[in-house]
């Protein structure tokens, strides 16, 4: 549009020069001047009108270009915002994944074949026959479960005693150094004692849960895994 405006301007100047030339050349001929001059001036007015229209069109196109640039900048800002949201969503997904992994805590272990006890004092029981140990929070070497996350856990203890009468069958569940519960039975008749107990505990990270054989009590196990210690995370806090 700048090019066409320049052309019109040149033509307009040319017509002006031509008009002046005609006027000078025909000073002695009034009738010819009266015929030519109106046509030339009409053309000049038309050229001026077209020039102004072209200038108006150029300004309108400039305004359109400015609007397009503004919209482009707005779209770029929106894309940056979307990119930030995507990154935030990615972080949230990763956090959810970690939370899910941390919430997968469950174990169950059997004592193993043989008789254990009796002893005069409470003695740790180590359940070495692992059935499952998701999250590896239970240590089969020490018999201690260590809470990996803060939350509520449920623990269960099942025992098998001897079939001989007058033998205590019992073991206690501990949280750190605190006794929480006791699974206990004392048979007067020649039948196997099978006491059990369980509880849900709120644990902090690093809290230890373990089992001790009750003083002067005895437990046994065999290949059927009848004496077991189990626990799993219910929910985090």
Q: Write out pLDDT tens, residues 146-171.
A: 999 999 999 999 999 988 889 999 99
Note whether 79 and 29 are same-domain residues: yes
Contacts of 212 (CB under 8 A, 6+ apart): 122, 123, 124, 125, 171, 172, 174
Residue 152 is predicted with a pLDDT of 98
Q: Does the pLDDT of residue 24 top 70, yes or no?
A: no
Q: Please check whether residues 58 and 44 belong to one and the same domain.
A: yes
Q: Which of 60, 48, 65, 63 is nearest to 5 (CA)?
A: 48
Domain holding 71, by residue range, is 2-100
Same domain, 194 and 109: yes
**112 and 224, same domain (yes or no):** yes
Number of Cβ within 10 Å of residue 182's Cβ equals 15
Cα angle 9, 10, 15 (rounded to 5 degrees) comes to 95
State the chain's mean pLDDT as an integer: 85
Summarised one tens digit per residue, pLDDT across range 109-131 is 999 999 999 999 999 999 999 99
132 shares a domain with 38? no
Residue 61 pLDDT: 87
pLDDT tens digits, 190-209:
888 999 999 999 999 999 99
In CATH, what number is assigned to the domain containing residue 156? 2.60.120.40
* Contact yes or no for 226/191 (Cβ under 8 A): no
* Whether 125 and 223 share a structural domain: yes
Provide, rounded to the nearest whole percent, the portion of the chain with pLDDT above 70.
76
Of the residues 84, 100, 116, the one at which a domain ends: 100
- To the question of pTM greater than 0.75 for the whole model, the response is no
Biggest alpha carbon–alpha carbon distance for the chain: 154
Phi-psi region of 50 (alpha: psi -120 to 50; beta: other; left: phi over 0): alpha
Q: What is the pLDDT of residue 191?
A: 86
- The last residue of one of the domains, among 67, 100, 133, is 100
Answer yes or no: do 112 and 96 share one domain: no
- Residue 177 confidence (pLDDT): 97
Indicate if 35 and 119 belong to the same structural domain: no
Q: In the listed set 79, 100, 121, which residue is the last one of a domain according to the structure?
A: 100
What is the domain count for the chain? 2
Q: Tell me 26's DSSP state.
A: T
Same-domain check for residues 161 and 191: yes
Kindly state the average pLDDT of the residues 35-51.
Answer: 74
| Range of lowest pLDDT (54-58, 89-93, 181-185, 189-193) | 89-93
Please work out, in degrees rounded to the nearest 5, the angle formed at the alpha carbon of residue 53 by the alpha carbons of 52 and 55: 65
* Statement to judge: residues 82 and 125 lie in one domain: no
C-alpha separations of 15 from 33, 113, 122 in Å? 15, 119, 121
Element (H, E) at 124: strand 123-124
- Residue 210 sits in the same domain as residue 125: yes
Regarding whether 123 and 65 lie in a shared domain, the answer is no
Containing 112, the helix (H) or strand (E) segment is: none
């Amino acid at each position: 549009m700048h090019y066409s405006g320049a052309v019109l301007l040149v033509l307009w100047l040319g017509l002006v020069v031509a008009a002046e030339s005609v006027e000078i050349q025909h000073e002695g001929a009034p009738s010819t001047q009266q015929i030519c001059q109106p046509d030339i001036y009409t053309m000049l007015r038309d050229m001026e009108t077209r020039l102004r229209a072209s200038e108006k069109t150029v300004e309108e196109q400039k305004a359109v270009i400015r609007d397009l640039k503004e919209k482009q900048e707005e779209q770029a800002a929106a894309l940056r915002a979307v990119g930030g949201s995507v990154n935030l969503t990615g972080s949230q997904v990763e956090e959810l994944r970690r939370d899910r992994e941390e919430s997968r805590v469950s174990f169950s272990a059997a004592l193993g074949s043989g008789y254990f006890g009796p002893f005069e004092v409470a003695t740790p029981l180590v359940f070495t026959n692992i059935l499952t140990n998701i999250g590896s929070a239970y240590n089969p070497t020490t018999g201690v479960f260590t809470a990996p996350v803060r939350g509520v856990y449920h623990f269960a203890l099942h025992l098998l005693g001897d079939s001989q009468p007058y033998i205590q069958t019992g073991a206690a569940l501990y949280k750190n150094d605190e006794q929480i519960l006791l699974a206990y039975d004392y048979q007067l008749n020649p039948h196997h004692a099978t006491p059990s107990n369980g509880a849900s505990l709120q644990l902090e990270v690093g809290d230890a849960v373990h089992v001790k054989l009750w003083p002067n009590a005895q437990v046994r196990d065999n290949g059927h895994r009848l004496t077991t210690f189990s626990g799993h995370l219910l929910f985090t806090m």
